[in-house]
Amino acid sequence: MSTTASAIVAAFAELIQPVSGDLKTVIEQPCAQEAPKERGICFIGDAKHLTQLLQSPIAALVVHTKMVAKVSELAANSKIVVLSSKNPKLAMALVDQRFFAIAAKLAPFDGVRVHPTAAIAKTAKVATDAVISPHAVISDGAVIGTGAYIGAHAFIGAGTVIGAGSIIHPGAFIGHNCKIGERCEIKSGAAIGSEGFGFATDEKNQHHHLPHYGGVILGDRVHIGVGTTIDAGTFEPSVIGEGTKIDNQCHLGHNSKVGKNNIMVTGFIMAGSVTVGDNCVFGGGIMVNGHITIASNCQFAPLCMIVHGIDKPGVYGGYPPIPLRESFKVQASIQSLPRLRRSVSKIMKHLGLKDDAEA
Amino acid sequence: MSTTASAIVAAFAELIQPVSGDLKTVIEQPCAQEAPKERGICFIGDAKHLTQLLQSPIAALVVHTKMVAKVSELAANSKIVVLSSKNPKLAMALVDQRFFAIAAKLAPFDGVRVHPTAAIAKTAKVATDAVISPHAVISDGAVIGTGAYIGAHAFIGAGTVIGAGSIIHPGAFIGHNCKIGERCEIKSGAAIGSEGFGFATDEKNQHHHLPHYGGVILGDRVHIGVGTTIDAGTFEPSVIGEGTKIDNQCHLGHNSKVGKNNIMVTGFIMAGSVTVGDNCVFGGGIMVNGHITIASNCQFAPLCMIVHGIDKPGVYGGYPPIPLRESFKVQASIQSLPRLRRSVSKIMKHLGLKDDAEA
Amino acid sequence: MSTTASAIVAAFAELIQPVSGDLKTVIEQPCAQEAPKERGICFIGDAKHLTQLLQSPIAALVVHTKMVAKVSELAANSKIVVLSSKNPKLAMALVDQRFFAIAAKLAPFDGVRVHPTAAIAKTAKVATDAVISPHAVISDGAVIGTGAYIGAHAFIGAGTVIGAGSIIHPGAFIGHNCKIGERCEIKSGAAIGSEGFGFATDEKNQHHHLPHYGGVILGDRVHIGVGTTIDAGTFEPSVIGEGTKIDNQCHLGHNSKVGKNNIMVTGFIMAGSVTVGDNCVFGGGIMVNGHITIASNCQFAPLCMIVHGIDKPGVYGGYPPIPLRESFKVQASIQSLPRLRRSVSKIMKHLGLKDDAEA
């Protein structure tokens, strides 16, 4: 694939502006600022690798707007075309998606749109331009929307709807009675709509499973990572709002109600019946207790243990969650505990008091 | 599907008794007390939503025995049939399983019992009423019991036995040389009997894998969650006792010996060679050290780090596990650490002692 | 399968030496020292079960070199052939691999080397002695090396190379543009080379995915556990060095650079852009912060939270990681916190100071 600087500027005029150099310059690949490549395009937010980049064989450089003056000077004699953006990372995402899409990701196997090894139930409906890969299984009454991609070995349960343009990666499992929005991405090994973990215990201490009828609803543009599990609700659906992005190996229990544009990083485990607002960010390795509510616009540092509800926006950390700055103090205090114990011992001895603090 | 109040009372006479209303009332669906539905049946243990429920279009209400007097009064003029149970949650599980089973869960694909795309080894034995879904693989010498359901893309290893009535969900992996009991449920993406993580290290610091011959034995009615892994034993089988229920994304290492009717919630990670008794409950996010023994009838709060053996029943929490009530005190103390440090500083200053406690 | 003591000694002359007994003794199976079996071979590093073993029906016993004198005496009248090794665990791994390989692990399904249900793209290249199991998918331009084993339902992405002798277990996912070394083992449900979790956020707080072009490179003899995810790099590959062994349910984020012969135990979660040296050991449940570097020859105790870089070899534990011995003191101090608080209260009262430490 290749494009030109002018095509990029034309496509994203509000986000990307020309600074210097020839806009007809041909660009062939995106690359990392640490590893510039021939005819590549780089997006930078700071000047860390600027000097090396300007001497490298890249074709184009997109810099943060605030760097324009400095770069203009340095790039005066360079053949590299320089563009600017108020958000170079966003520019990179949008340019890469638009001009340098990964062909292998969505290519029909051997060029065959609906592979003959796929098992498609008689009552299922598949849009005429959807891709169905080898060994995929589309169950009774399922509906596959226009432009959707169903990967190899993916399983689509009975009555489930896959929205337009959604990508179901190889080996993903979508249970029955689910609704996946448009332009979602469900990664390999994820399981959406498996029955929740709910049991009733009898007098002999035997546990009896509660059937889960609720399924799962994902809004548009939801991202579900590899191996992540979103369990079906007991009676009503578990819901993940549009634009929420969930990383690999996360778990959201039955009856989850999650809002829009949240980010949940690897190892996020949320027990059942939790409500989450919009625009929250959850760092890695976070766990959330069941039956609580978390307000919109909260940020949680990695490893935060959210054992109680959070009712106002803020930046939190620790176990239990407290304002992040305070959680740093607590964490620092833990490290100085042995010294604190010695001080208290010293005081007790000084005062002739009996020392309760020695283990 | 539909049933009547009298059919329910007849099926579970010891657990469910009539209180008031017409037992011939037709019931069409179970529903949540927060979202009552037309001709639905609700099971409640407290009066939280009682008033709304009695004004809703549900057909039947099963209340806790202790609520009978109160409900009788309130429901005097209602068309809703009222039943009572000493254990409404258990009543819900059993009634839902019996009268409102989820058809899509076990329906043969396109009505075909043994799908032609399944790969069944010549030496495998499949019961005449077992369901084998598309693209399932049944290896050499495997035995599929009567009434068992093998989901799409499930893999059954060589010589493995699947007990009567067990459900192997789509994409589950059961290794060779395993024995799955009757009426088990193995969820999508679970892996039973993969070789354990054991290595011997040579003088060049290269690690050499130890073959694992032991396989895995699951007792009857064991539940294995999505993505959960139970590794094969080195020489002898890893064993999970009957009735034990394990949630999504748990891991039990090689040579595990787990008893009956335990519950292990999401994120439970147990290192190898651990022995667990019966009737334990492990909350979410718990980790267990290798080569230890945990007594029967223990309960562990979420996030408990079980770094040593537990030899008597009790309720535990913390890291390391201590009686739960004490672990709450420790946890609370951690939060007040910065204040404690300030107090010690103040004392040291007051006494003119050198302060070791300030970081 | 069966072999003889002399064949074992001949195969591993430097590692295993004869001590006493008839080297022509036939050996039929390896077994655990706790469960000796007829004509079995046992490997022991200490004398814990020695007496019982010498009275058991095993055929051969391999003891640590330091035990030779003691065992010679005890085994004088035994029919058991006794061998010695400076590293009995390594001897067990190598003897078991060589003489008692698990046939079911690599047997072609129904004896058919390339199963007709596998979907192999026209442009893929498969070595003439590789095994391709039922329903495997080999994508465009993929290359399967000599002696490689591709399990049922495994997915090999476009342009990906699988090295000679590597084992891709049933249901494993290898994305496009990856390179798997020789004699690797990728377990069921693992996902290598899925795109990393990277997003850019716009002014409406919508998150836009960054395409990941880098793929993953695994060196020779790398082991990837069940459900483990190694995400593709953004532009350059994520790399795992030769001989590194990773357990079940681990996650290594995009742009990981991991060296040789490391061990990572279950639940290991490493954020993106981390560099790890060689010969490290990471215990269970460890998390690693993004964008840091960890030196070679480090050992981390289970549950260590590696929130900052580690620049010299050592044995670490705790959160944040500190030398293990010190982390034990901190951990012990936490448990005595409630007592410490009481002591400080007592002192404050004694001195007539206002007590800030009481919650």
State residue B231 phi and psi, 5-degree precision. -75, 150
Which tens digit of pLDDT belongs to each residue from A209-254? 999 999 999 999 999 999 999 999 999 999 999 999 999 999 999 9
- Residues of C with Cβ-Cβ distance to A351 under 8 angstroms: 347, 350-351
Asked whether the beta carbons of B239 and B256 are under 8 A apart, the reply is: yes
* CB spacing of A96 vs C333 below 8 angstroms: no
Task: Determine the Cα–Cα distance for residues C193 and C156; give it in Å rounded to an integer.
Answer: 10
Task: Write down the pLDDT at residue A76.
Answer: 86
Instruction: List beta partners, residue A42.
Output: A61
pLDDT of B355 reads 61
Instruction: Measure the N-to-C terminal CA separation of chain C; round to a whole number of Å.
Output: 68
| pLDDT of amino acid B212 | 98
pLDDT tens-digit map of B256-287: 999 999 999 999 999 999 999 999 999 999 99
Q: Are B276 and B263 in contact (CB under 8 A)?
A: no
What is the model's pLDDT at position A355? Answer: 61
B185 Cβ under 8 Å from any chain A Cβ:
yes
The helix (run of H) or strand (run of E) holding residue C249 is none
Instruction: Please give the residue that has the higher pLDDT: either A174 or B73.
Output: A174
Distance separating alpha carbons of residues C175 and C197, to the nearest angstrom: 15
pLDDT recorded at residue C355: 61
Cis geometry, peptide bond prior to residue C116 (ω within 30 degrees of 0): no
Q: Residue C354's pLDDT band (boundaries 50, 70, 90)?
A: confident
For residue range A251-282, what is the model confidence (pLDDT) as tens digits? 999 999 999 999 999 999 999 999 999 999 99
**pLDDT for the residue numbered C279:** 98
For residue B271, give the nearest of C261, C284, C340 by CB distance. C284
The candidate with the shortest Cα–Cα distance to B341, out of A315, A330, A42, C309, is A330
pLDDT recorded at residue B77: 86
Task: Please state the separation of Cα C158 from the chain's center in Å.
Answer: 27
Mean pLDDT estimate for chain B: 96
Q: Which of C5, A306, C283 is nearest to B307 (CA)?
A: C283
Indicate which of B182, B248, B305 best probes the interface with A, i.e. most A CBs within 10 Å of its own CB.
B248
| % of chain C with per-residue pLDDT over 90 | 92
Residue C277: is its pLDDT beyond 70?
yes
Nearest alpha-carbon partner for C210 in C166, C268, C272: C272
Contacts of A289 in chain B (CB under 8 A): 302
Q: pLDDT digits over B94-109, tens only?
A: 999 999 999 999 999 9
Q: From the candidates C64, C169, C176, C254, which is the catalytic residue?
A: C254
pLDDT for the residue numbered B357: 46
Percentage of chain A modeled with pLDDT above 90: 93
Q: Find the CB nearest A104 among C177, C209, C330.
A: C177
Average pLDDT over chain A, rounded to whole?
A: 96
* pLDDT of A295 above 90: yes
In this prediction, residue C49 carries a pLDDT of 96
- pLDDT above 90 covers what percent of chain B? 92
Let me know: does A204 contact A198? Beta carbons within 8 Å.
Answer: no
| Rounded Cα gap, residues B57 and B28, in angstroms | 12
Residue A1 pLDDT level (bands cut at 50, 70, 90): confident
pLDDT of residue B218: 98
Report yes or no: B171 and A173 within 8 Å, Cβ to Cβ: yes
Give the span between the Cα atoms of B163 and B175, in whole angstroms: 15
As a whole number, mean pLDDT of residues A314-343 equals 94
pLDDT the model gives residue C282: 98
- Examine the pLDDT at B359 and tell me if it is beyond 80: no
Per-residue confidence (pLDDT) for residue C302, from 0 to 100: 97
Is the link from the previous residue into C320 a cis peptide, with omega within 30 of 0? yes
Q: Do B263 and A235 touch (CB under 8 A)?
A: no
Query: Best mutation site among C132, C343, C356 for testing chain A: the one with the most A CBs within 10 Å?
Result: C343
C-alpha A123: how far from chain center = 33
Q: How far is A91 from chain C (nearest CA, A)?
A: 8
CA R_g for chain C = 26
Q: Is A8 helix (H, G, I), strand (E, B) or coil?
A: helix
Q: What average pLDDT does this structure show over A161-173?
A: 98
Give long-range contacts, CB 8 A cutoff, 24+ apart: C124-128: C124/C156, C127/C164
In whole angstroms, what is the distance from residue A283 CA to residue B287 CA?
A: 20
* Average pLDDT rounded to a whole number, residues A336-355: 88
Over chain C, what is the mean pLDDT? Answer: 96
Q: Say what the pLDDT of residue A359 is.
A: 40
The mean pLDDT value for C110-116 works out to 97
Residue with tokens 């951690």, as numbered in its chain = B334
Specify the 3-state DSSP secondary structure of A126: strand
* DSSP secondary structure string for all residues of C155-171: EE-TT-EE-TT-EE-TT
* Cα angle: B215, vertex B219, B225; to 5 degrees: 80
Q: Are C129 and C148 in contact (CB under 8 A)?
A: no
| Tokens 């400076």 -> residue | C86
Instruction: Give the one of B110, B227, B335 whose C-beta lies nearest to A121's C-beta.
Output: B110
Q: What's the confidence (pLDDT) of residue A357?
A: 47
Please give the Cα distance from C358 to B180 (Å, whole number). Answer: 55
Does the active-site annotation cover C115? no
Taking residues B168-192, report their average pLDDT. 98
* Mean pLDDT value of segment B119-125: 98
pLDDT classification of A354: cutoffs 50, 70, 90: confident
Which residue from B88, B109, B87 is spatially nearest to B41, judged by alpha carbons? B88
Q: What is the CB neighbour count within 10 angstroms for residue A279?
A: 18
Task: Quick: pLDDT tens for C172-204.
Answer: 999 999 999 999 999 999 999 999 999 999 999
Looking at the DSSP bridge assignments, the partners of residue C81 are C60
Q: Does C337 touch chain B (CB under 8 A)?
A: yes
Task: Give the pLDDT score at C359.
Answer: 40
| The pLDDT of residue C358 | 46
* Predicted local distance difference test score (pLDDT) of residue C357: 46
Q: Are strands B3-4 and B26-27 parallel, antiparallel or unpaired?
A: antiparallel
Q: For chain B, how far is it from start to end, CA to CA, in angstroms? A: 68
Q: What is the pTM of this model?
A: 0.97
User: What value does the mean pLDDT take over residues B285-306?
Assistant: 98
Q: How far is A334 from chain C (nearest CA, A)?
A: 7
Residues of chain C with pLDDT > 70, as a percent, come to 99
Q: In what order do the strands lie in the sheet with C305-306?
A: C119-120, C137-138, C155-156, C173-174, C191-192, C229-230, C251-252, C269-270, C287-288, C305-306
Mean predicted confidence (pLDDT) in A293-312 = 98
Comparing C-alpha atoms, which of B278, B166, A172, B250 is closest to residue C171?
A172
Residues of C in contact with B342 (CB under 8 A): 356-357
pLDDT in tens, C42-95: 999 999 999 999 999 999 999 999 999 999 989 888 999 999 999 999 999 999
State the complex-level ipTM: 0.96
C-alpha dist (Å) from residue C97 to B79, B208, C8, C105, C261? 72, 9, 12, 12, 19
Yes or no: say if A153 and C153 are a contact pair by the CB < 8 Å rule: yes
Amino acid at B181: G
Q: Is C229 on the interface with A (CB under 8 A)?
A: yes
CB contact under 8 A, C338 and B322: no
What's the rounded Cα separation, in Å, for the pair A129 and A132? 10
Are the C-beta atoms of C183 and A179 separated by less than 8 Å? no
Q: Which parts of chain C fold into alpha helices (H)?
A: 5-11, 50-54, 68-74, 88-99, 103-106, 324-335, 337-351
Residues of C in contact with A302 (CB under 8 A): 271, 287, 289
Three-state DSSP at B67 gives helix
Integer CA distances (angstroms), A61 to A34, A43, A73, A79, C255, in order: 13, 6, 14, 11, 22
Residues 269-328 of C with CB under 8 A from B: 279, 284-285, 302-303
